[in-house]
Amino acid sequence: MSRLGARPGGRPEERGRRRMDRPRRTALEALREIDRNGAYANLAARRVIEDQQLTGRDAAFVTELVFGTCRMLGSYDAIIELAAGRDLDSLQPDVLDILRLGAHQLLGTRVPARAAVDTSVALAAIVVGERVCGLVNAVLRKIARRDLAQWAQRLAGGDEERRRCLLTGHPQWIIDAFAEVLPTDEIDDLLVADNEAAEPTLVVRPGLCSRDELVEQGAEATRWSPWGGVRPGNPAQLPAVRSGRAGVQDEGSQLVCLATSRVPGLGGGRWLDMCAGPGGKSALLRGIAPEHQALLVAGEAQEHRAKLVSLALRRYPHQGHQVVVADGRRLPFPDGSFSLVLADVPCSGLGALRRRPESRWRRWPEDVGELAGLQRELLASALAACEPGGVVAYVTCSPHRGETLDVVGQFTEGPVEVLDAPALLPEVPGCAAHADPRFVQLWPHRHRTDAMFLALLRKAN
């Protein structure tokens, strides 16, 4: 049995059908990894595309199937359950994933209904067996009778909040969390932006590569970051990326580093990136550090992620940085050892739903509470590690109040000065947090970046 569940050989017409369904079978393999192994959609899709050596339209179709299905998973599951007239738990996992892929083709793409149904039935026959073809055919034909708006209306009845959840593929608790920190008239724009594919954004390693080089290699310069470029396609095709002199990083992550680098009186000595994996921000700080006569220490609690940090830094001279495996809550350094501490803390990832669409269905409100406890511990540790007069940059890829304003707010009453972070990004319009304009809050619908949050805290002398 091959990785994709098809046996070699078979009748000529079956072999032709399997070739025709190669992108769909590849997408199914990615969904298996996501659903059963907890893989990230972006990483799973990239792996199976590379594994099957797909390019061009086939690779793009696989990406659309995987990302689109993951974005709308909750909506598609509700529709499948109603159309099938049975609980989802009663369906085999492969059958359910095939129905999800079929539902996305019917409700979220321009694939003709007949093609979406027929190829899904064929895929079921190959992967599961002929015995489930009748079920797959019947359910998808029933789904094809209505469009997404009609299904949402039927499922929601007169409940407008439920209808919006179904149409946009966002659980209600996430929409409510966005509404706490964003003007009401922007919520729908954000939900739409969350469902648009993020542009592949590149970043140079300062001192090793220039943005002009990325532009010469076909990238379009980022709007605000002096280090970034946007280029469709596989980033590894660029010589600068292959050589390790550039990498992949959302412009929002670049902008929080840019603001941090502009803090007046930013000291030299030693800088700490305390939650460094996989190393994108560490590489930016490493490139900036020589301007401030600073040495970068990159700490990461997990050894395999610390290796990724070392990989990101590999082209820089070793004497300018150090990578250590260390839990940010229990740092192996005396208090007051660093003039700058970047605390890019683990979070719910609600700010990166464009890139990791499956996160919206994996997270629950109680997860935010658990993460907030960890975030408070890490911020307390960061402040302790910072020298008097030094700066702590608290960063999350989540706009949720419980991971941003509420966490930082517990530390602003002590010997800490809250710096005006948006003032350090004057070229970026609308980057001040709605609930507290001292902090930076970027948004997909405003800035076409991940929803990065930044607070800059100066420790009292």
How far apart are alpha carbons 404 and 421 in whole angstroms? 14
Q: Record the tokens describing residue 352, joined without a space.
A: 């990166």
CA–CA distances in Å: residue 161 to residues 158, 173, 174, 181, 358 = 9, 11, 12, 18, 21
- Catalytic residues, by residue number, are 397
Sign of the torsion formed by the C-alpha atoms of 106, 52, 236 and 259: positive
Q: Name the nearest CA neighbour of 122 among 259, 11, 235, 25.
A: 25
